[in-house]
Structure 1
Amino acid sequence: MEGSDVELDLQRSVQAVLRELSAPATTLQSNQGMWRWSLHKKVDRDPAKSPVLVRILLRELEKAEAEDHQHVLIPLLHTLMYVLTKATGVPEELYQRSYTLCTRLLTLPAPYCTVALDCAIQLKTETAVPGTLYQRMVIAEQNLRSELYPYQERVLLFVDPELVSASVCSALLLEIQAAQEQQSPEACMRHVVAHALQAALGEACHVGAVHRKLQASSRRILEHYFHAVVAAVEQVWAGEASDGQAAGHLQRLEEIYHSLLGPAEVARARCAGDPLQDRPPGILLPSPTITFHLWTGQEQLWKELARFLRPPSQLRLSADLEALDLQGLSSLDRAARASVLSTDSGIERDLPLGADEIPAPGSPELERAALQRKGGIKKRLWPPDVSWSGAWDGAPGLHRRTGRPSGDGELLPGVARVHTARVLVLGDDRMLGRLAQAYHTLRKQESQKFCLTPRLSLQLYYIPVLAPQDPTASRQPELGDLATFLGRADPWYQSTVNTLCPAIHKLAEMPPCLDTSQAVDPFILDTITYYVRMGTQPIYFQIYRVKIFSDLSQEPTEDIFLTELKMKIHEPKPPKEGASPRRRGAAESLGAELSLCYQKALLSHRHQEVAISLRATGLVLKAIPASDTEVAASAMDHMCLNVSVAEVVKSCHLAGRSFSMATNTFRTSSIQVQSQDQRPLMLWLDKDNRRTFKDVVRFEVDPCPEPCSRSQRSKTPWPNPEEQKAMEQTETTSKPLQMPINTYSGIVQ
């Protein structure tokens, strides 16, 4: 295919992607997202098309910036960066144009400036040392051992067999296994070496000869060249990547290249030319390591994360890391309660000597040691607010996305988050409710034991998989509220993730392919891979706590919910609306007399409590906005519940008494509901039949506070007990627990 035909074909594919983004949400098709996948596949099959596609994407980005088409900026940026991560041979002029464009986009509001900044940092990294992004991504995702870059990632895919059919589970498992059997550690190391040499040497690298030599090398020789290439790249970043070190990096890679091929092979390639040089073989970007898990309970999430942190072949990083033993939690609890005195005077000569540098009696060093400052401010060994949202929601371990490794992810000296767990759940709102329970349990355990937080960056992802609609059912359950919200908040999520549901069911209906020797192009696995790699912007969802009273004289039962709480009253079938009751008091027998006390949600965040009494047949609390206006409002205020009360309205007229049903709606941040006539209530949490509570007489709902252990609270005595109580209440209410779900852009304003 000639150059003009290639450019025209890629241009048509890019325009098709842009048309999908501009189409209204009501016209979405089941094949949405196929254009994005096919565009990347065209480049994977022919890497020579990468510079052409980069030039087209840059042209479209500059056009969108000039015409203020902000809705396509983030999808185009993600598509551009995904191509540049895998590509080699892209002219430096295109990198400079991309970087300049991203710096101009920093003037836009969030989330555009946030994504543009992330892309600008990655472009700066790749421009300084070509091939860095690819190398770090493969090392982390494939868990390849490297002392210079010890960061590891893993995707944990959770599927609840009660919510997702067995055919869907088996189809996904077969596709994951078929793809991962084709990417052994040796193959991944070959990809890293070949990509680094090709990215640094350019046309001087005879790719075909490199591939043939690596294919014929043994495991020991392959590991030698792999570690040499990694050292050549990472040692540049250890020295701040100056111009001289960048030149030394290129010289070291040239030496590796000549050592790999040998002088005779290099001379033969230069003189005769490489017959495969005109069409170099593509260097694949293998999919990340994905482990498939059937959801069995809340504790499973903590167990799988702990198992990921302590694999059998885990490399020892430092003594502080080994001190965080998952089995030795009692010693950590004792250390968390200890206090130490600051003896640092700020003078270098006053620093304490090591064990092997003890001065002799009467020496000047011993006299100076006696002059060290005693006392000082008391300080805790563990940070008092280590269970903040930032301790889990951020991605300090993803240094491959933000340049060289730094100490930003360190919570303790010598302890950095070198592990990133990407927890991906499939299902509907019920599965998200169960994930919220597990997330809350995990945070509560961490506030007491503190063993995963220092080493783990936790990222949460969600792909909706709803059951096929039953045409015979009179009313389908609304089980995709959160997926609908994410689609409205992030159009790129709607285009590439929300439309996976029909494709997953279609995959489950196809007969399994038992031949794993042939190369496959798994659409669903590739889409999942694209999502977990590029979905770095979280949307935070407030978790709500509910206190359930079956007896007002006893302690309540506590639980949480994420999307919805539904209340219903046991009663006979009500008469038709507007009908007159056959006997006196029939209207009073419908529903129950409820007492509601709630705090009104105001934009000014002022406290305004409302107390009312009414007769109602049901009540629904929704934490997920249901309209585009509420989506924009939720970006400013996450702690807001939409309450709908099915109220019984009685009226008197000449024919007698009658009643009608009316829906009373309001917004609140917390609410208390109590049955006044002793009629029991029934509660459903997150639309889950397994989370049903019967015989309820009262329940209270408020934002779930961040778990905090007693050892982390300040033990400073307060002169006034009322001031101490007020301070504890302020600390509890100011730190609500929110669960992040990663998307491509977050909430687009």
Structure 2
Amino acid sequence: MESSDVELDLLRSVQAVLRELSTQAPMLQGNQGMWRWSLHKKVERDPGKSPALVRILLRELEKAEREDLRHVLIPLLHTLMYVLVKATGITEELYRRTYTFCTRLLTLPTPYCTVALDCAIQLKTETAVPGTLYQRMVLAEQNLISELHPYQERVFLFVDPELVSASVCSALLLEIQAAEVQQTPEACMRHVVSHALQAALGDACQAATVHKKLQASPRRTLELYFHAVVAAVERMANEPSPNRAGHQERLEEIYCSLLGPLAAPRGPCSCDPPPDRPPSIPLPSPHITFHLWTDEEQLWKELVLFLRPSSHLHLSADLEALDLQGLPPDRELARVSVLSTDSGIERDLPSGPDELPAPSSPETERAGLQRKGGIKKRTWLPGLLLPGSWLGAPGLHQRTGGPGGDGELLPGISRVHTARVLVLGDDRMLGRLAQAYYTLRKRETQKFCLTPRLSLQLYYIPVLAPEGSSTSRQLELGELAAFLGRADRWYHSTVNTLCPAIHKLAEMPPSWDTCQTVDPFILDAITYYIRMGTQPIYFQIYAVKIFFSDLSREPEEDVFLTELKAKIQDSRFPKDGCPAKKRGVAEGQGAELSICYQKALLSHRAREVTVSLRATGLVLKAIPASDTEVSGPTHPPRTAAPVTDHTCLNVNVTEVVKSSNLAGRAFSTVTNTFRTANIWIQSQDQKLLTLWLDKDHRRTFKDVVRFEVTPCPEPCSGTQKSKASWLGSHQQNQMEATKANPTPLLMPINTFSGIVQ
């Protein structure tokens, strides 16, 4: 195919992606998500097309910048960066044009400037040291050990077997296993060496010869070249001013050592046939572990196993033995105190400051005068009692922000591990994830072991019921997915559209021959989302305290993320031992509820409202149900009202209204809607309530007489009060202010752009 034909074909594919982002035409609904995948597959099968695709994407980005088409900036930028990670043979001029374009986007508001800054940082290194992004991604995702780049990543795929069918689980597991067969550690090391040599040497590298040589090399020889290439790339990338010429010279030495006499350039009169196009160097999919979520503490256990060294995989029953290892003492961050059992008697002490009694001396043999060892405890300052978030500065449930990265949280402890937790399911699965996330944060108050060393990233792929179920039920269980799709158009195009494809994959007959799996669309789409979804949207977790009619039963506490629904039970509970009075038809409908709530105001002023009304039920929703509360990224309106900067619940109360007319009394129901951050509800008559959390029948509470809902605060350690005496007056005031205005617990879900204002 000629160069003009290649560019025309790639341009058509890029324009198809742009049309998908700019229209909701029904004819495009069936192909959503496929255009982006097919575009990347074209350059993966023929790496020589990569420079042409980079030029086309760069032209479209510059055009979108001129015409102020912001809704396509982030999708095109992600598409371009994904090509650059895999590509070889990209000229330095193209790298610099892309870097200059990203720096111009820094003047735009969030999230455009956030994504552009992340891309500019990566491009600056890649321009000077080509192949760095590919090498670091493979090293981290495949857990290839390297002292110069010790970062490790793992993808934990969690599926609830009660919410996702067995056929879907089997299909996903087969596709993951098929990919693992083809990406052994030896294959990944060959890919790293080949890609680094081609990226640095360009056309001077005999790619086919390198491929054959590496295929024939034994494991020990392969490891030597692998470590040599990794060291050359990382040392140059970590230089303050990397030298591209010096990097090319070093890799040329490795190249000549690998090929020997074959590395000599071919003469123009060589009688050898012209070499074929260079073999494609795939980017292996990340290491994914598949888990059926059957245990409440399963997420915690898997994260602990990920952090533990391979030689310490034996866990205690309660996993409480895991402690923070390798943390050096630091006087600025921690104070080490010694709780001594010394009686204060002079003869209990050594005779001199530097004299210690011998182990066999009479002083140590006398039990009454034996000096016992002190208990060392570490006291953290208020800012380190519990970090605000694993992902950097917290936002509110409708705000977005970039992840905290892999920087150091404490001196000597860097986050070299990244756990990417991917859940499949509907809103019920996210409610379960919120429970697990709250448990993790609560454990960190007692055992500060995961936060300093682990960067936790959360991802969500909606897998709703198949098309046979009712549409209303699908919409009900997919509210959060719909919200993410409205907030981030690229998320809708590449993630929300996976649901029908996953069900279609499950209907296909299983292929037990894993070698026959070619171009797995589902796995490729999941991999793209995991790698490029770096902008989280924060969701407020709400705490609910439930009181029951049985006074001997202790109140229960739980959390929910999307919805709390309350219905009136038919059963009654005895009140002061008196039988229930006969009620008319009007009194038989619903129950008398006392509702006290704090009204959500833009001024943030506290205004409490107390009402008493008869209702048949109520629903508390934490997810906006319409586009009026978030401006979509497809065509961001300039005059749209900004998203409110405070969290609130949308409360819908179904009230029973009594009216009188000529025919007599009439009763009807009307839905009252208001917003609040805190609410307290109690049944005033003898009827009880039934609660459902996050639409999950497994999280049902019956015989409820009262419940309270508040934004869930960050879990606090119970030992903070005892530590207050060690702190100064300023630090005590800071702790008291934090207690008065607790930090809300926010759960981040990663998307491609976050919410576009």
Q: Is TM (by shorter chain) over 0.5?
A: yes
Residue 692 in structure 1 maps to residue 686 in structure 2? no
Residue from 719, 722, 730 that aligns with 1:711: 719
Taking the TM superposition and a 5 Å limit, the aligned residue runs for 1:189-268 are 189-243=189-243, 246-266=244-264
Whether the aligned pair in 1 keeps the contact of 2:464 and 2:474 (CA below 8 Å) is no
Distance 2:238 2:541 in 1: 41
Distance 1:606 1:474 in 2: 38
Deviations 1:92-130 (A, max 9, x none): 111111111111111111111111111111111100111
Deviations 1:221-256 (A, max 9, x none): 00000000011011123332343xx43322211110
1:271 Cα deviation from its structure 2 partner: 7.2
Residue 738 in structure 1 maps to residue 736 in structure 2? no
Matched AA of 1:288: P
1:302 Cα deviation from its structure 2 partner: 0.4
1:678 Cα deviation from its structure 2 partner: 2.5
User: Counterpart of 1:281?
Assistant: 279
Deviations 1:10-69 (A, max 9, x none): 010001010010113877623311010000000000000000000110111011111111
1:464 Cα deviation from its structure 2 partner: 0.2
User: Counterpart of 1:507?
Assistant: 505
Matched AA of 2:700: T
User: Counterpart of 1:630?
Assistant: 629
- C-alpha change, 1:75 and 1:454, in structure 2 (3 Å) is same
Whether the aligned pair in 2 keeps the contact of 1:106 and 1:113 (CA below 8 Å) is yes
1:646 Cα deviation from its structure 2 partner: 0.2
Whether the aligned pair in 2 keeps the contact of 1:388 and 1:706 (CA below 8 Å) is no
- C-alpha change, 1:521 and 1:679, in structure 2 (3 Å) is same
Whether the aligned pair in 2 keeps the contact of 1:565 and 1:620 (CA below 8 Å) is yes
Taking the TM superposition and a 5 Å limit, the aligned residue runs for 1:389-538 are 389-392=388-391, 409-470=407-468, 478-518=476-516, 520-538=518-536
Residue 327 in structure 1 maps to residue 321 in structure 2? yes
1:328 Cα deviation from its structure 2 partner: 4.5
1:163 Cα deviation from its structure 2 partner: 0.2
User: Counterpart of 1:611?
Assistant: 610
Matched AA of 1:591: G
Matched AA of 2:674: F
Distance 1:198 1:217 in 2: 18
Distance 2:604 2:24 in 1: 34
1:654 Cα deviation from its structure 2 partner: 2.8
- C-alpha change, 1:724 and 1:260, in structure 2 (3 Å) is closer
1:390 Cα deviation from its structure 2 partner: 3.3
- C-alpha change, 1:472 and 1:530, in structure 2 (3 Å) is closer
Deviations 1:715-748 (A, max 9, x none): 33499x9x98996474363300000000000001
1:291 Cα deviation from its structure 2 partner: 0.5
Matched AA of 2:690: M
Q: Residue 671 of structure 1 aligns to a residue in which SS?
A: strand
Whether the aligned pair in 1 keeps the contact of 2:255 and 2:263 (CA below 8 Å) is no
Q: Residue 673 of structure 1 aligns to a residue in which SS?
A: strand
User: Counterpart of 1:178?
Assistant: 178
Deviations 1:283-314 (A, max 9, x none): 11110001100001220000011111125269
Taking the TM superposition and a 5 Å limit, the aligned residue runs for 1:651-662 are 651-662=659-670
* Greater mean alpha carbon deviation, residues 140-149 or residues 273-282: 273-282
Matched AA of 1:532: I
* Greater mean alpha carbon deviation, residues 629-638 or residues 447-456: 629-638
Residue segments in structure 1 that go unaligned for 5+ positions in a row: 316-324, 342-358, 360-377, 396-405, 573-582
Deviations 1:504-558 (A, max 9, x none): 0000000112222245100000000000000000000000000000048565210
Matched AA of 2:564: L
User: Counterpart of 1:306?
Assistant: 304
Distance 1:512 1:379 in 2: 55
- C-alpha change, 1:556 and 1:178, in structure 2 (3 Å) is same
Q: Residue 282 of structure 1 aligns to a residue in which SS?
A: coil
1:608 Cα deviation from its structure 2 partner: 0.8
User: Counterpart of 2:386?
Assistant: 387
Matched AA of 2:87: A
Q: Residue 570 of structure 1 aligns to a residue in which SS?
A: strand
User: Counterpart of 1:347?
Assistant: none
User: Counterpart of 1:339?
Assistant: 335
Distance 1:472 1:114 in 2: 40
- C-alpha change, 1:178 and 1:121, in structure 2 (3 Å) is same
- C-alpha change, 1:665 and 1:278, in structure 2 (3 Å) is same
User: Counterpart of 1:320?
Assistant: none
Matched AA of 2:448: F
Whether the aligned pair in 2 keeps the contact of 1:424 and 1:463 (CA below 8 Å) is yes
Taking the TM superposition and a 5 Å limit, the aligned residue runs for 1:359-374 are none
Corresponding residue pairs, total: 682
Distance 2:260 2:66 in 1: 52
Whether the aligned pair in 1 keeps the contact of 2:565 and 2:693 (CA below 8 Å) is yes
Whether the aligned pair in 1 keeps the contact of 2:570 and 2:687 (CA below 8 Å) is no
Matched AA of 1:339: R
Distance 2:472 2:446 in 1: 48
User: Counterpart of 1:663?
Assistant: 671
User: Counterpart of 1:639?
Assistant: 647
Residue 112 in structure 1 maps to residue 112 in structure 2? yes
Matched AA of 1:7: E
Residue segments in structure 2 that go unaligned for 5+ positions in a row: 314-318, 338-353, 355-376, 395-403, 572-581, 632-640
Residue 561 in structure 1 maps to residue 560 in structure 2? yes
Distance 1:291 1:466 in 2: 22
Distance 1:385 1:584 in 2: 58
User: Counterpart of 2:341?
Assistant: none
1:331 Cα deviation from its structure 2 partner: 9.8
Whether the aligned pair in 1 keeps the contact of 2:406 and 2:455 (CA below 8 Å) is no
User: Counterpart of 2:710?
Assistant: 702
Distance 2:382 2:737 in 1: 20
Whether the aligned pair in 2 keeps the contact of 1:464 and 1:501 (CA below 8 Å) is yes
1:713 Cα deviation from its structure 2 partner: 5.5
Q: TM-score, normalised by structure 2?
A: 0.85
Distance 2:567 2:272 in 1: 76
Matched AA of 2:303: L
Whether the aligned pair in 1 keeps the contact of 2:656 and 2:668 (CA below 8 Å) is yes
Matched AA of 2:102: C
Deviations 1:578-633 (A, max 9, x none): xxxxx972111110000000011111111111110000000000000001112357
1:208 Cα deviation from its structure 2 partner: 1.0
Distance 1:303 1:539 in 2: 26
- C-alpha change, 1:271 and 1:208, in structure 2 (3 Å) is farther
Matched AA of 1:307: L
Whether the aligned pair in 2 keeps the contact of 1:543 and 1:562 (CA below 8 Å) is yes
- C-alpha change, 1:519 and 1:219, in structure 2 (3 Å) is farther
Distance 1:527 1:107 in 2: 31
- C-alpha change, 1:552 and 1:640, in structure 2 (3 Å) is farther
User: Counterpart of 1:372?
Assistant: none
Distance 1:407 1:39 in 2: 29
User: Counterpart of 1:595?
Assistant: 594
Distance 1:299 1:10 in 2: 48
Matched AA of 2:384: D
Distance 2:205 2:59 in 1: 29
Distance 1:588 1:561 in 2: 32
1:273 Cα deviation from its structure 2 partner: 8.3
Whether the aligned pair in 2 keeps the contact of 1:298 and 1:441 (CA below 8 Å) is no
- C-alpha change, 1:313 and 1:180, in structure 2 (3 Å) is farther
Q: Residue 594 of structure 2 aligns to a residue in which SS?
A: strand
- C-alpha change, 1:248 and 1:477, in structure 2 (3 Å) is closer
User: Counterpart of 2:102?
Assistant: 102
Matched AA of 1:524: I
Whether the aligned pair in 2 keeps the contact of 1:542 and 1:638 (CA below 8 Å) is no
1:388 Cα deviation from its structure 2 partner: 2.8
Q: TM-score, normalised by structure 1?
A: 0.85
1:379 Cα deviation from its structure 2 partner: 9.3
Distance 2:502 2:322 in 1: 43
